[in-house]
Amino acid sequence: MASSACCFPDIYDWIQNLPSITQWKTNSISISICSTSSYQSSLNLSVTKNNLQSPTLISFSLTADYSLPISLWASKPFKTNTKSTKLLEEDNISNLLTNFIEDVLKYGSNKNRCNPLLKFPKLDSISNFKDIFNLAFLTLSLLICIYEAPANLRAGCLNTLKNQLTGCQSRAASKLLMQHLGSNLEEQWIRSINLAITNWIAELQATRRTIKTPSPLFSYAISTYGLWKIHLYCPVIAMDIENSSNPSADERLLFSLNYHQLEGVIQFNYRVMIQEKWVNFMLSTDNIRCDVIRLVNETLMNERGVGIDEKHFPSRISLQLTPTLQTNIFSVSVSKSSENPTREIEVEKTIEGSFDPPNSFLGLKVSAGETMTMSMKPWKFEQSVYGYSTILNWFLHDSMDGREVFSSKPSKISLLNPKAWFKDRYSSAYRPFTRQGGVIFAGDEYGEKVWWKLDRAAVGKTMEWEIRGWIWLTYWPNKHRTFHNETRRLEFREILHLNIA
């Protein structure tokens, strides 16, 4: 028994409508997930009786449908209830979803890390379970297709899966799934996906082909009482290149640079203060965290790359917050930017005297030197206003010459200087990053507040706010001897909501 669909099928509904095992006329039932343009092969989802162990046991599998089918993935076995009119009852459907999630996580590189116990809520406690189920299956299918499918099937099916995963329904389901998984499993889930996407993009680049990759950026926003929070993830290889000294750098260095992903968390605290004639809305920075995390283990990074010390680092972060409907806005006020660097002037004068041998003149050498040293924080914070939009900027500066890093290139002399600030940048005591290679801006240092004054008519309403962001990552050599340097940029956009109450 087989079926197919003109577009991507609803797998949850298909499974729910499968007949009881006692009504089967064949040993398996299958449905086409996607097919190649030539229609000579397809990726199928099949459910099969396990006759060798028990006639009530079934398992699901993804197969490449050729004249001799190739099995690409198989689920755990599930026991069916022969008295039920459905093939799978609610507990088994929930267990199948968990099976999808566990197998996605297995494609991550940190297999030696002790994973937290996966606990998923019961079926009756999850809203939009159907969308989450279909999203988890889609994600698993993408990874199976990248890693396991034959080449002539992979190219066509990946495009279909990409289009489905980047749709609005799938992105909404992704946000729900992340909330249910929790932050620790969320990071592992995204790293598994972005490792697969990185492999796919690297394969396309090796053949000099280009394609819009599936969800190169995954982000979502949470609006809750007193807190706005945005999560974002993007493989470095998928970020736009702003400038590069040598796009065709040696392969080992490119491997180290490409097999990382950007992980970011943006948190704002807010307060709504209702006055007699107006409303004050105050927003302050709680935490801005930005990390560049490797997607493969240290062993592979040393074998195929140039080690774990070569990677991009954050060099600029820019955020713009805008109320989308500005009818009830009176004004916006910002506080001061971070202080200007202090300059210290030192004047040093030395006198050198010497007596020369007879028959020569007495020489007295006098020299005066003036040196200037500049003391400044590596990161400078600035606020600005455009209309009713507030723009927050964090800039990294070269502590040697004070130039902004994201928009400048180091000289070759500085690249060879072992004492330059960007050498040993993850272990030096004066590093501008965490030891892991990221940055954290906390409210106590970079948390100057922003105020909007609103019309009191806004009380009782829900306002929509847009946050747009840009993050720049820069690579300057750390320990590896190379003149290669580049800067990449990522842009994201999310909608947040504010209840005026």
Task: Characterise 226 by phi-psi region: left (phi > 0), alpha (psi -120 to 50), beta (else).
Answer: left
Distance CA 37, CA 157 (A): 9
| pLDDT tens figures, 115-134 | 556 666 666 678 889 999 99
CA distance linking residue 263 with residue 288, whole number of Å: 11
SS3 content of the chain, % helix, strand, coil (to 5): 25, 35, 35
Where is mean pLDDT largest: 63-72, 108-117, 361-370, 483-492? 483-492
Q: Model confidence over 299-308: pLDDT tens digits?
A: 999 999 999 9
> CA 262, CA 217: separation in Å to the nearest integer?
9
CA distance 385 to 402: 25
C-alpha 18/C-alpha 81 separation (Å) is: 13
pLDDT at position 361 over 50: no
Which secondary-structure segment (H or E) carries 83?
none
Exposure string over 73-103, b if 16+ CB within 10 A, otherwise e: bebeebebeeeeebbbeeebbbebbebbbeb
| SS3 at position 29 | strand
* pLDDT at 344 exceeding the cut of 70: no
User: Per residue in 179-209, pLDDT tens?
Assistant: 888 888 899 999 999 999 999 999 888 887 6
Q: What is the mean pLDDT of residues 138-149?
A: 95
Residues 304/255, Cβ–Cβ less than 8 Å: yes
With a CB cutoff of 8 Å and minimum separation 6, the contacts of 324 are: 464, 465, 466, 495
pLDDT tens sequence across 377-410? 788 889 999 999 999 999 998 877 778 999 888 8
Place of tokens 């006198």: 351
Which position has the token pair 């499918």? 149
Looking at residue 217, what is its pLDDT? 74
pTM of the model: 0.87
DSSP code of 404?
B
pLDDT, tens digit, 9 for 90 and up, residues 227-264: 999 999 999 999 999 988 876 678 999 999 999 999 99
Q: How far apart are CA 85 and CA 17, in angstroms?
A: 9
